[in-house]
Amino acid sequence: MSRFFATGSDSESEESSSADEITPKAPGTTFKQSLLLSDDEEDTKRVVRSAKDKRFEELTNLIKTIRNAMKIRDMAKCLEEFEQLCRAFLKSKNIVDKEGVPSFYIRLLADLEDYLNQLWEDKEGKKKMNKNNAKALSTLRQKIRKYNRDYESEIAAYKENPQESADEEEEKEQGDSGSSSDSDGEGGDDGVSAKSFLKKKPDASSEASKFLKSAKGSGDESSSSDDDDDEEDWGSDTVDSGSESSDEGEGRSASLAVVFLKKAQDADKPSEKKLGKKKKPKKKERLEEEAEEEGGEEVEGGWEKVKGGVPLVKEKPKMFAKGTEINVPVVVKKLNEILQARGKKGTDRAAQIELLHALAAIAAENNLGQGILVKIKFNIIASLYDYNPNLAAFMKADMWKKCLDCIDELLDILFDNNNIFIGENIAEDSESLTISEQPFRVRGCVLTLVERMDEEFTKIMQNTDPHSQEYVDNLKDEGRVCGIVDRLLAYLENKGSTEEICRIYLRRIMHTYYKFDYKAHRRSLGLQGETKSEQDQEESEGEDSAVIMDRLCKFIYAKDRTDRIRTCAILCHIYHHALHSRWYQARDLMLMSHLQDNIQHADPPVQILYNRTMVQLGICAFRQGMIKDAHNALLDIQSSGRAKELLGQGLLMRNMQERNAEQEKIEKRRQVPFHMHINLELLECVYLVSAMLLEIPYMAAHEFDARRRMISKQFHHQLRVGERQPLLGPPESMREHVVAASKAMKMGDWRTCHSFIINEKMNSKVWDLFPETQRVREMLVRKIQEESLRTYLFTYSSVYDSISMETLSEMFELEIPTVHSIISKMIINEELMASLDQPTQTVVMHRTEPTSLQNMALQLAEKLGSLVENNERVFDLKQGVYGGYFNRDQKGGYQQKQGGYQRDQKGGYQQKQGGYQRGGYRNQNQSNY
């Protein structure tokens, strides 16, 4: 076997290596060796170069290109290379997840962002740029700002200690290129020389360098021994190929350059130095890996430093220079330095909050007074609010707890020190923070902080799943929020202005108005003795919510100068009255306020509150038996079909033409938290039952009236849906129950109607949700009996000549005086053509109502009249006589009104008379068609 094949082995001995060096080569063997070397070179590359090395080398090459483009201000090149770098980094994701983000990458991101910001601020330089570069600068600046958001903590750590990060990057670059240059590594310069000598072989492998070294012929002993050592390292293990010293690399590459390229010495020198640098970190990396396996502490510390940034504990000594006297001006200066970074891109908000806490601790340790402490607390709370820059985002649980704690601490300081004055009108120059005989003066508004806290609590509740335990846990914080509002209320009552007191009163009202006061309700029913625990007794002895609401709202009515606060207070007051069944107070307050006249000009949250108040007012009227008032109050909300949206309890599905994404976000922020929702099924049931009690008697009274109007369109829609069903089974949903009850009431069957409206299913869905359940059920039964009696009389009056009131009383289980009252009202209102015979207690019917045949004849006459009218109209149009047409129309319109008015007001006889007038039946026909 040829000795060249033998030397290609990985397990080559030292003797064979030295023998190769001594043996001179024939000049014709060079081409064979090069062919052989290229195969070995490929094998070596396959074994040595890992994915990490390849990826990181690709990244470093792109970074160098970007830095070169930065030097010559070639923004278009920078943008192109940065996009390639992002793609290359995305390919390296698996490696980065294992190894961590390389420091040289973080360094480039930080430097590039700073560089772009400098260029952007240089107005003159921007003007001189050509169009492509200016456009690329703008695009690249936006991309880098967006891209750097994901690496804020790493960039902040680099900026805090750029020297260390630069050293780490240099070592990392060298380490990466060292591992990737096992084929280039020692023979990197040899590769260059080989390239110049044999152009077909760009990179020489370890074997190539060995064969080329043997071609030197005469080498001194020192280089020969160095080469022997090198070959031992290379032959023993390919992974350790980069662990040679720089002297060995320099000696070998220099001697190789002397033999092949004497003129290229100067060009090879930089790469010799680079080679030396590459070899050192490789050895260092191997030592670090061994130390990691042994569990070395230094390596772990290093990783912690790269990933987590410099710990804030180390920042505390750096807060102030050693030996600095800690006084108020120094602390204020430091505070302003910290606040200057607030709101800027790349600022670590969590670190900023920790720095402010550390500053507060230093101020407390050095007893600088409560004034500076209050100022720092103000800024800590503001920083907590700024932690989420997005308005729609809500605070995380830990930040929320910190915020509540900070506000409590701030209020503690304000209550304990009466000599602290705070206000937005205090200028920063006129602040008094030092300890002196004068009181402290601090710029800030604690009311604004508490209002923002209240809004954050609402956002937390809006963004939590209402059916989860987390919602219940978050809702428990409301007690703490109300406690803070109460404490601030007590503080501002002593020190605040009238406007501030009105604002904090409104916050207290908004947390009270929608809650039912069960303890006051039990006291009113005389059930106070049932509470057993001392806590319950203390609470029950406390002030009623009605008294609190009355006191707070009346103060706002008297003192407030802004319409919005007064409007909200009135609506909350009405809502609270209605919730506790104080119908007349709620109704009178609503009518006196005249809010319904101009509520459409209010902002959406106030309109939502108005809708909620009207709905609650309608439900209250229903509980009190005021069916017509209940229907009128609920009509606007229910007839729209958007009750859910109008009450701020959810969004309906709409297409993007009606509402774009931005509007949807705004509307979601207006939603009412789940614990404040009004039950929509209960609301709909109350409305439909009210409509049934009004509509069914009206339909019976005007059964043959072609111009009958609808009281409730939604109720008629439900009736039509029920009639369309081919198979009528037992009712299941709430709507089906109401429709079935309506059909029974139409026949005068009040018992069936009662069984459909009040049963176990309807009780569990609707009626049990009312505070006074039994009273509401009794009221409903009474109303069903009365309206069924009216419907019965309307429907069957044409059948009877006379009917005994006693019979009606037994049939509908009503007292005789009640029956007498109902029939008397119907006769007085001319709804029933009858008279009462007092001695015999009977109702005598009058035959004035037309029969069904007469009604049909009337309808036919009206339709024929309209047909004649249409023919005349067509004839006039053909003849061109427009004046007669318009005059007739106007005249007919007047007569129609007159006829309709007479029919509605006067009775059956005049109804027929008015119906024959031309305008009346013409317009009737139009409505029928």
Taking only the tens place, the pLDDT of each residue in 463-514 is: 999 999 999 999 999 999 999 999 999 999 988 889 999 999 999 999 999 9
Same domain, 97 and 153: yes
Q: Which of 2-11, 423-432, 566-575, 666-675 has the lowest mean pLDDT?
A: 2-11
Residue 125, pLDDT score: 82
Query: Three-state DSSP class for 43?
Result: helix
| Residue 853 pLDDT grade (very low, low, confident, very high; cuts 50, 70, 90) | confident
Work out the end-to-end distance of the chain between its first and last CA atoms, rounded to an integer number of angstroms. 111
Highest mean pLDDT among 180-184, 205-209, 303-307: 303-307
Does residue 241 or residue 740 have the better pLDDT?
740
Q: From its phi and psi, is residue 769 left (phi > 0), alpha (psi between -120 and 50) or beta?
A: alpha
How many other CB atoms are there within 10 angstroms of residue 589's CB atom?
20
Evaluated on CA atoms 693, 697, 700, 705, the torsion sign reads negative
Interior angle at CA 253, CA 249 and CA 257, nearest 5: 170
> Which residues share a beta bridge with 836?
843
- Chain centroid to Cα 131, Å, comes to 40
* Residue 834 phi, psi (nearest 5): -160, 175
Q: Which helix (H) or strand (E) holds 443?
A: strand 440-443
Q: From its phi and psi, is residue 444 left (phi > 0), alpha (psi between -120 and 50) or beta?
A: left
Cα separation values, 767 from 563, 647, 739, Å: 38, 21, 17
Same domain, 443 and 340: yes
pLDDT at 728 over 90: no
Evaluated on CA atoms 224, 229, 232, 238, the torsion sign reads negative
Give me the torsion for CA of 20, 22, 23, 24, rounded to 10°. 120
**Span 760-782, mean pLDDT?**
90
**Span 177-188, mean pLDDT?**
42
Residue 216, pLDDT score: 41
Which amino acid is it at 490?
A
Last residue of a domain, one of 112, 130, 160: 160
Radius of gyration for the chain, computed over Cα atoms and rounded to the nearest angstrom? 46
What is the 8-class DSSP label of residue 437? S
pLDDT at 380 over 50: yes
Here the tokens at position 578 are 């209605």
Which amino acid is it at 912?
K
Does residue 256 or residue 925 have the better pLDDT?
256
pLDDT at 619 over 70: yes
d(CA 442, CA 432): 7
pLDDT at 574 over 90: yes
pLDDT at 869 over 50: yes
Q: Which of 133-142, 169-178, 186-195, 555-564 has the lowest mean pLDDT?
A: 186-195
Last residue of a domain, one of 802, 835, 868: 802
Which amino acid is it at 185?
G
In a domain, 815, yes or no: no
Q: Which of 84-93, 424-433, 555-564, 768-777 has the lowest mean pLDDT?
A: 424-433
Cα separation values, 365 from 327, 339, 358, 418, Å: 11, 21, 10, 22
Evaluated on CA atoms 902, 907, 908, 909, the torsion sign reads negative
Residue 242, pLDDT score: 40
Same domain, 460 and 488: yes
In a domain, 380, yes or no: yes
Does residue 327 or residue 827 have the better pLDDT?
827
**Span 821-842, mean pLDDT?**
89
What is the 8-class DSSP label of residue 347? -
Residue 727, pLDDT score: 80
d(CA 928, CA 285): 94
β-pair type (420-423, 842-845): unpaired
Q: Are 608 and 647 in contact (CB under 8 A)?
A: yes
Q: Are 439 and 419 in contact (CB under 8 A)?
A: yes
Residues 6+ apart with CB under 8 A from 579: 513, 514, 516, 616, 620
Evaluated on CA atoms 573, 575, 577, 579, the torsion sign reads negative
Query: Three-state DSSP class for 590?
Result: helix
Same domain, 402 and 427: yes
Same domain, 440 and 478: yes
Same domain, 604 and 572: yes
Does residue 439 or residue 116 have the better pLDDT?
116
**Span 349-370, mean pLDDT?**
86
In a domain, 342, yes or no: yes
pLDDT at 231 over 60: no
In a domain, 896, yes or no: no
How many residues in the chain? Answer: 929
In a domain, 548, yes or no: yes
Residue 819, pLDDT score: 92
Residue 233, pLDDT score: 42
Query: Three-state DSSP class for 170?
Result: helix
pLDDT at 27 over 80: no
Could you tell me where the beta strands, DSSP code E, fall in 785-871?
802-804, 834-837, 842-845
Residue 903, pLDDT score: 39
Does residue 771 or residue 406 have the better pLDDT?
406
**Span 787-811, mean pLDDT?**
90
Q: Are 714 and 688 in contact (CB under 8 A)?
A: yes
**Span 518-533, mean pLDDT?**
68
| Residue 145 pLDDT grade (very low, low, confident, very high; cuts 50, 70, 90) | confident
Q: Which of 237-241, 337-341, 679-683, 771-775 has the lowest mean pLDDT?
A: 237-241
Query: How many domains would you assign to the chain?
Result: 4
d(CA 217, CA 20): 10
Residue 849, pLDDT score: 64
| Residue 848 pLDDT grade (very low, low, confident, very high; cuts 50, 70, 90) | low
**Span 889-903, mean pLDDT?**
40
Same domain, 470 and 412: yes
Residue 537, pLDDT score: 55
Same domain, 484 and 597: no
Cα separation values, 134 from 69, 75, 103, 422, 826, Å: 14, 8, 29, 49, 86
Q: From its phi and psi, is residue 730 left (phi > 0), alpha (psi between -120 and 50) or beta?
A: beta
DSSP string across 875-921: HHHHHT-HHHHHHHHHHHHHHHHHHHHHHHHH-HHHHHHHHTSHHHH
Same domain, 695 and 721: yes
In a domain, 624, yes or no: yes
* Residue 804 phi, psi (nearest 5): -80, 140
Here the tokens at position 301 are 């510390």
pTM, two decimal places = 0.59
What is the 8-class DSSP label of residue 185? S
Residue 318, pLDDT score: 57
Does residue 727 or residue 232 have the better pLDDT?
727
114-124 in b/e form (b: 16+ CB < 10 A) is ebbeebeeeee
Instruction: Provide, rounded to the nearest whole percent, the portion of the chain with pLDDT above 90.
Output: 29
Residue 17, pLDDT score: 41
Cβ-defined contacts of 239-244 (< 8 Å, 24+): 239/48, 240/286, 241/48, 241/182, 241/185, 241/186, 241/206, 242/178, 242/179, 242/181, 242/182, 242/185, 242/186, 242/278, 242/279, 242/282, 242/283, 243/279, 243/282, 243/283, 243/286, 244/186, 244/279
Structural domain span for residue 422: 326-492
Same domain, 517 and 483: no
d(CA 258, CA 255): 5
Cα separation values, 776 from 292, 467, 717, 766, Å: 77, 29, 26, 11
pLDDT at 153 over 50: yes
pLDDT at 275 over 90: no
Q: Which of 101-105, 259-263, 418-422, 839-843 has the lowest mean pLDDT?
A: 259-263
Last residue of a domain, one of 477, 492, 507: 492
Same domain, 479 and 333: yes
Q: Are 385 and 455 in contact (CB under 8 A)?
A: no
Instruction: Provide, rounded to the nearest whole percent, the portion of the chain with pLDDT above 70.
Output: 69
Same domain, 395 and 515: no
What value does the mean pLDDT of the chain take?
75
